[in-house]
Amino acid sequence: MIEIVVPQLAESLVSATIDKWLKQPGDWVDIYEPICEILTDKVNAELPSTVSGTLMKILVGNGETVPVGTPIAIMEVEGEAADTGTVASGGTANTTSATAHVGAALSTSAGTAISDADAPMRGRFSPAVQQLATEHNLRLSEVPGTGLGGRITRKDVLAFVASGAAGKSSGASQATQVSSASMDPKAQVRSSGIHLSESPRLPKIEVEGSNAPSRGETFIDVTPIRSTIARNMRQSVSEIPHAWTMIEVDVTNLVLLRNKLKDEFMKREGVNLTYLAFLLKAVVNAIKDFPIMNSVWAVDKIIVKRDINISLAVGTEDSVMTPVIKNADHKNVAGLAKEIEELARKTREGKLTLSDMHGGTFTVNNTGSFGSILSYPIINYPQAAILTFESIVKRPVVINDMIAVRSMANLCLSLDHRILDGVICGRFLQRVKENLESFTTDSKLY
Amino acid sequence: MAVIEYIDAIRLAMKEEMERDEDVFVLGEDVGLKGGVFTTTKGLMEQFGEMRALDTPLAESAIAGVAIGAAMYGMKPIAEMQYSDFMFPATNQIISEAAKIRYRSNNDWSCPLVIRAPIGGGIFGGLYHSQCPESVFFGTPGLKIVAPYRAYDAKGLLKAAVRDPDPVLFFEHKKCYKLVTGEVPDTDYIVPIGEANVLREGDDITVISYSLPLHFIEQAAAELEGEGISTHILDLRTIQPLDKEAVLEAVRKTGKVLIVHEDNKTGGVGAEVSAIISEELLFELDAPIMRLCGPDVPAMPINPPGEKFFMLNKDKVKEAMRNLALY
């Protein structure tokens, strides 16, 4: 098997686009016979085959752009067995073992010291190591070495100092073996949050090596989902210039409406009629009036999405997911209520599929469900804005110079200030407010 | 901010400086009608006329000599050497004239000249289209030398070079032209000559480099992060005068340093950087100072396997970085 790669067609070119394949898998190709047409900034050309043989597989399709040197097709050369492939994989295997070696070396940084016999570099100290040892009054014989041939590296010393072992080493060196398992494994990591129906699952706790007794600290493995959340949040706050605004809404009539309908709705539909469904309806209708809220920043342009797909932030005990209600503008309040229930159930049961998560264009977070009255949400990257629906609370409100007890709720909006400004967001929130306040006890769900 | 190519950033810097100051003009082989063999000066003749985008004869000593004369008379020439390989006929003008004018005239005269020259290989240019001439000019007092890697720095340093009152050699890597892209503001800004830049923070090893190799170093650093190796990367940006403080600070972070450049090892910029570190930081070193450079052979081979052997790449850089981290 031979790989055909994108050649360097002209100096300073770094990529090329496959315009059209002239041969298909299974076709016989003579040497120098064109197999495809390629486009570049400088030239358009037919790409000749470098061998005679059968085209086995096309790796890069029509219209795709790839860097110079990328394999684009696999050819089987006449009368050749497939054993030449192993040459390439040998190199890869080498790299992998080296990788594993590094990983091992670094992960033992707090591990055991290597004995002098198989550590010829154990007793050779770099100037940096000697200086640090003097500074911290260390006996280097107690410091584990992870460098080449068991050498103690500068980082080993720093890790040793940071682990707190340094203080002890000047006195009783044996004391380093103390109670590394002294922490309480039943200690809860999180106890707040009224939405928590059960106590959180115990985190998997890893205890540092015996050389580093840690006091008052526990380590929690970062789960893949936690890691994804961290990455997305970081990307959002570092790329998107956030701005924030809030509005308060009088939902007294909405409360009356829901109280009137909820039992009947439960009987008929089998799902809860939540305030969130009404809010979503109000938000979706406002987005229809201000489509710029439904957009994405693309550096030289702003992409306004035609479909209104609402990402719904759904919290679980240890993470938050944002499943998507597709084409939310096609649904009425009842349909939204059913969809919310369905997505919340799937999230809790961990049954969300990839397609449930994709395509969101605007995010709504029902922060009121865990008692918040004010929050500063981070935009669900790469969307333009995120809106939170805070707790509904009864408050004295002045209406026509009279004080009344009304059900009030705050709506908070974080916005991408590259796309949106105060005026448009203010208008958008006013529209959401009008929509919510225009529900009356006569409003229809269907 | 738009994401543009390195070559566009250089063109944009020249365009903006020519718009800003009537004394700025470009001269060189094919820079006018053709717009440069790499299209670096494309559109300048159309915008500013043939007197400010001047096609010259094939005589680099004349290009440098004319530019020096114009600069002494108060113009701000940007002289292009089509390839830095062709720069050597002008070496006498650059080292013995341009670099010494202020000193020799006791500050009466100056030479606000920029010489742009594409350096480096990787484009199958062979012996005479691939050289890195930094070490020829490096160590000549009176010359400033910059060698940007990011598109942002290419624009900012070229503008700073044009405004500098003394001769500046601007070494642009021809492989970077279309390979390196980045966000470049279309506003007027400069990157000060003489300041290095930290491209990545890390605490296992420090890698110091300039120009194209940083592309491989950044890729390797990203991959090595997966192996648990954290890399601190310093882009020198200006190789004369060297940003000594930044070099020392970067080395202090880790005590382990690798210096990388495409120019050959013996007598290169890395030798000077290494000497500075060993003069100042002996007691903070945790490993021998390491260098990864082009081999000491006369020139880039013309055949592809030879070029591949000669050129640095991600794998070579990654291996050197890993070896240093393991030390």
Least Cα separation, residue B282 to chain A (angstroms): 7
pLDDT < 50 stretches in chain B: none
Which range (A10-24, A361-375, B283-297) has the least confidence? A10-24
Say yes or no for a CB contact (<8 Å) between A126 and B285. yes
Q: Quick one: fold of B2-184?
A: Rossmann fold (3.40.50)
Q: B59: distance to nearest CA of chain A, Å?
A: 23
Q: Quick one: how far is CA A99 from the chain centroid?
A: 26
Looking at the complex, report in whole angstroms how far the Cα of residue A294 sits from the nearest Cα belonging to chain B: 22
pLDDT tier at A166, thresholds 50, 70, 90: low
pLDDT in tens, A174-214: 433 333 334 444 443 333 333 334 444 444 445 444 445 55
**φ, ψ at A83 (rounded to 5°):** -80, -15
Cis status, amide bond into A203, omega within 30 of 0: no
Query: Are A300 and B129 an interchain contact pair (Cβ–Cβ within 8 Å)?
Result: no
Nearest by CB to residue A14, choosing from B179, B203, B285, is B179
Contacts with B36 (C-beta within 8 Å, 6 or more apart), sequence order? B28, B30, B42, B80, B82
Using alpha carbons, list the distances in angstroms from residue A137 to A164, A165, A176, B283: 13, 12, 16, 16
A286, pLDDT greater than 80: yes
Per DSSP, the three-state class of A16 is strand
Which residue ranges does chain B devote to CATH 3.40.50.920? 197-326
Q: How far is A392 from chain B (nearest CA, A)?
A: 42
* pLDDT value of residue A6: 86
User: Checking DSSP bridges between strand B257-264 and strand B290-294, what pairing results, if any?
Assistant: parallel
CB A20 within 8 A of CB A37: yes
Q: How many angstroms separate the CA atoms of A65 and A73, rounded?
A: 14
Q: Is the pLDDT of residue A101 over 50?
A: no
Report how far residue B44's alpha carbon sits from residue B249's, in angstroms, rounded to the nearest whole number: 41
* Chain B touched by A151 (CB under 8 Å): yes
| Residues of B with Cβ-Cβ distance to A99 under 8 angstroms | 227
Local confidence band at A165 (pLDDT 50, 70, 90 cut-offs): low
pLDDT digits (tens, 9 = 90+) for A108-146: 444 444 445 567 888 889 999 998 998 888 888 888 888
Indicate which of A5, A8, A9, A11 best probes the interface with B, i.e. most B CBs within 10 Å of its own CB: A11
Mean pLDDT of A270-274: 88
The per-residue pLDDT for A169 is 46
Predicted local confidence at residue A11, as pLDDT: 64
Q: Which of B2, B38, B286 sits opposite A126 (nearest CB)?
A: B286
Overall average pLDDT of the A236-249 stretch? 94
CA–CA gap between residue A261 and residue A254 (Å, rounded): 11
Fold of B197-326: Rossmann fold (3.40.50)
Q: Give me the pLDDT at residue B288, please.
A: 95
CATH 3.40.50.970 domain range(s) in chain B: 2-184
CA dihedral A27, A32, A38, A44 (to 10 degrees): -140
- The closest of B111, B114, B117, B98 to B166, measured between CA atoms, is B111
A348: pLDDT confidence band, cut at 50, 70 and 90? confident
Q: Which of B3, B308, B326 to mutate to test the interface with A (most CBs of A within 10 A)?
A: B326
A154 vs B322: CB contact, 8 Å cut-off? no
**Residues ≥6 apart with Cβ < 8 Å to B297:** B264, B310
pLDDT of residue A150: 87
Total H helices, total E strands in chain A:
10, 17
d(CA B17, CA B75): 13
Question: Average pLDDT of chain A?
Answer: 80
Q: What is the pLDDT of residue A210?
A: 47
Its pTM surpasses 0.95: no
Minimum mean pLDDT range among A76-80, A204-208, A358-362: A204-208
Give CA torsion, residues A287, A291, A297, A299, to 10 deg. -170
Ranking A145-149, A308-312, B40-44 by mean pLDDT, the lowest is: A145-149
For A102, the closest of B255, B285, B322 (CB atoms) is B322
Residue A59 CB neighbour total at 10 angstroms: 16
Nearest to B12 by CA among B49, B39, B51: B39
Determine whether the interchain pair A106/B129 forms a contact, defined as Cβ–Cβ distance below 8 Å: no
Confirm or reject contact between A8 and chain B (CB < 8 A): yes
Does A14 contact B at CB distance below 8 Å? yes
Question: Between A319 and B301, where is the model more confident?
Answer: B301
Q: Going from the N-terminus, what domains does chain A have, and what CATH number goes with each?
A: 2-80 (2.40.50.100), 113-219 (4.10.320.10), 226-437 (3.30.559.10)
Q: Measuring CA to CA, how many Å separate A99 from each of A55, A150, B226, B323?
A: 35, 18, 9, 11
CB contact under 8 A, A12 and B322: no
Does position A107 have pLDDT exceeding 90, yes or no? Answer: no
Quick one: pLDDT at residue A167? Answer: 56
The whole-number pLDDT of residue A436 equals 93
The per-residue pLDDT for A43 is 65
- Searching chain A, which residue's CA lies closest to the CA of residue B130? A11
Give the pLDDT mean for A252-280.
91
